[in-house]
Structure 1
Amino acid sequence: MKTEALRGKLFLLLATMLAAVGWISSKLVILEMPGEVFIAARFLMASLILLPFCYQQIFALRPKQIAALGGVGMALAASIEVWVHAITISSTLSEGAFIMSLAMIIAPFISWLLFKVKPNRMFWISLPITCIGIMLLTITTGWQVDNSQWFFLLSSALLSLHFVLNKRVLTNIKPLTSICVQLFMVGIVGSVFMAAVSPERFEINGHVLFWFAVSTVIATSVRYLLQTVGQFNVKIETASLIMILEPIWTLILSISFLDEVVEMQKLIGGGVILLSLFIYIKYSKS
């Protein structure tokens, strides 16, 4: 059991690193490829890569379960569509990563609104700390927030909706089966959106193909496989604590690959947000 738990923690740690790689690879791809095309191709291919590991379970799903998976997948698709748009117009990925990590704090609000489940005491303790972190992270030139930051916040809220629905609506479905179907749904929604928008033509070169492959295979398929196996063998509190490392890796990679310069105030803001998440996860009783 200890060996499995240790392996699970290692898998989750690697998953956070691969998620950060996904931020960088996505940004590098959409510099040359329309975001609509990127989402459709990336998630359709990622779901097909996972399909051999769970196709028998997918074929055994009942129509009601498929409909539920489709609905939850559409919430994920909405979050990713907004996220890609935010990345497209943003010059500072690390800020976006810290804002996206707020999904865990926003989720109790969503659950309260939809299912009348009141947030616990630690949520209300963590919330003011989170607000301070957001202010430090976003407000640097007076009371003006960059457009990309609003889109990252909207994407984080939609991701929170996905978390809540994923936990409340889907039961008796194995995680990998659920992920595969949901990624496929994201690809389908992306394809419909791509057809409606009719993106401009673009050229495919070796640089784009390399980072697209990294984003699809490494940062999506492999990442979700590691995350699924890791979460299966690790307590949810421990898994959540490990997963909040993602914005830190994103910050490091963004500085290394994109030459991003991060002001000290924003670093402190990101640190305060992580502190609020740590307090909420570590000491939450429900």
Structure 2
Amino acid sequence: MQPERRGDLLILAATLLASAGWLFSKEAIIGLPPAGFVGWRFLLAALLLLPFCYRKLVNTSPELLLKAAAIGLVMTLNLIFWIQAISHSEGIGEGAFIMSLAMLMVPPFAWLLFKERPLRQFWIALPIALVGLFLLTMENGLSLSLSQLLFLLASLSLALYFNLNSRFARRIDPMALTCIQLAVTGVMHLLYSASFEQWPSSIAPITWVWFSASVLLATSFRFVLQSMGQKYSPIANAALIMMLEPIWTVLISVFWYQEPMPLPKILGCTLILLALLSYRSRNLLAWYRSRKAGLTRF
């Protein structure tokens, strides 16, 4: 198998695991407090990654470690909004599409924080995405439900995290950076859980199955597959494949939770996906031209 094809398949597998992670999380928090679940999930995932990046962490300066941990606090905020949104939602498909808007929220944050003006594709994609968001949430008229509002806040905080992390990631090994941020997120959620949540006296065995799947499959194994895939898959390929995550999540939600998908909601999801594709059109067009040129030379 060609390396590029292998990379695409690994990215696709990581995307499917990410989508399944929504299901694992929602099922796990039926028997576990939300913040406590996230805390143990991310802390254990960090411990699983630790043996693979221990030496790189030791060789990293304390200043960089502190900055990585600080960005991990932004990830903590994002996960607080996300897990609370899941706990208040009946399904997970709608939330996955609202979360996917984070890609379009990255340019405004970059403009505000780093004076980087958005590309022309952003101004084309933005109104399409806003119409899609309106159709997705129009069941409540001009207001958002609590879960929709929390998903939107999670999307905004994720865009902020992307901006900060992308400018810092070049200065530290990616696996070491991920390990630190997972650990910070886990510890902060456990502190929150200890302060404000009450753990049940007994936990059903099936809950631990969902929890284990979240830690091993949707977090640790997914990260490994994604990292391996990004070594071989072109950036445009990886970006396009990863856009499929909300689609897989909707399919899972419709099958597992019988989440209703009336026509306005389907149109809203479609418009959000089109907005993401139009925003990525420049990279996709460059990738297509390079592929076409390569085939012509062949």
For normalisation by structure 2, the TM-score amounts to 0.91
Tell me which residue corresponds to 2:289: none
Tell me which residue corresponds to 1:152: 151
In 2, distance between residues paired with 1:166 and 1:233?
22
In 2, distance between residues paired with 1:89 and 1:198?
16
Tell me which residue corresponds to 1:139: 138
Task: Describe the shift of the 1:3–1:224 C-alpha distance in structure 2 as closer, same or farther (beyond 3 A).
Answer: same
Structure 1 gap segments, 5+ residues each: none
1:250-265 matches, cutoff 5 A: 250-265=249-264
User: Which stretch of the first structure deviates more once superposed, 136-145 or 147-156?
Assistant: 136-145
Tell me which residue corresponds to 1:51: 50
Structure of higher CA gyration radius: 2
Contact 1:176 1:225 in 2 (8 A): no
Alpha-carbon distance, 1:141 to partner = 4.2
In 1, distance between residues paired with 2:232 and 2:215?
25
Alpha-carbon distance, 1:192 to partner = 1.7
Contact 1:82 1:152 in 2 (8 A): yes
In 1, distance between residues paired with 2:4 and 2:160?
29
Tell me which residue corresponds to 1:22: 21
Contact 1:36 1:199 in 2 (8 A): no
In 1, distance between residues paired with 2:210 and 2:251?
18
1:109-258 matches, cutoff 5 A: 109-258=108-257
Per-residue Cα deviation, 1:166-196 (whole angstroms, up to 9, x for no partner):
1112323222221111111110111221122
In 2, distance between residues paired with 1:103 and 1:56?
33
In 2, distance between residues paired with 1:146 and 1:219?
27
1:45-124 matches, cutoff 5 A: 45-124=44-123
Letter in 1 for 2:229: G
Contact 1:133 1:273 in 2 (8 A): yes
Alpha-carbon distance, 1:142 to partner = 2.4
Per-residue Cα deviation, 1:246-281 (whole angstroms, up to 9, x for no partner):
001101111122222221211110111011001101
Percent identical? 39
User: Which stretch of the first structure deviates more once superposed, 147-156 or 65-74?
Assistant: 65-74
1:280 and 2:264 aligned: no
Count of residue pairs brought into register by the alignment? 285
User: Which stretch of the first structure deviates more once superposed, 108-117 or 5-14?
Assistant: 5-14
Q: Structure 1 segments of 4 or more deviating over 4 A?
A: none
Q: Is the partner of 2:82 in helix, strand or coil?
A: helix
In 1, distance between residues paired with 2:50 and 2:201?
29
Per-residue Cα deviation, 1:23-49 (whole angstroms, up to 9, x for no partner):
001001111111111011100111111
In 2, distance between residues paired with 1:130 and 1:98?
10
Contact 2:33 2:197 in 1 (8 A): no
Q: Is the partner of 1:139 in helix, strand or coil?
A: helix
In 2, distance between residues paired with 1:53 and 1:3?
27
Tell me which residue corresponds to 1:12: 11
Task: Describe the shift of the 1:148–1:198 C-alpha distance in structure 2 as closer, same or farther (beyond 3 A).
Answer: closer
Q: Is the partner of 1:117 in helix, strand or coil?
A: coil
Q: Is the partner of 2:200 in helix, strand or coil?
A: coil
Contact 1:241 1:282 in 2 (8 A): no
In 1, distance between residues paired with 2:119 and 2:91?
33
Contact 1:130 1:276 in 2 (8 A): yes
Task: Describe the shift of the 1:91–1:202 C-alpha distance in structure 2 as closer, same or farther (beyond 3 A).
Answer: farther
Alpha-carbon distance, 1:200 to partner = 4.0
Letter in 2 for 1:27: K
Alpha-carbon distance, 1:3 to partner = 2.5
User: Which stretch of the first structure deviates more once superposed, 2-11 or 47-56?
Assistant: 2-11
Tell me which residue corresponds to 2:292: none
In 2, distance between residues paired with 1:251 and 1:180?
29
Alpha-carbon distance, 1:203 to partner = 2.1
Contact 1:65 1:170 in 2 (8 A): no
Note the aligned Cα RMSD (angstroms): 1.6
Alpha-carbon distance, 1:232 to partner = 2.9
For normalisation by structure 1, the TM-score amounts to 0.95
Contact 1:86 1:148 in 2 (8 A): yes
Letter in 2 for 1:30: I
User: Which stretch of the first structure deviates more once superposed, 161-170 or 129-138?
Assistant: 161-170
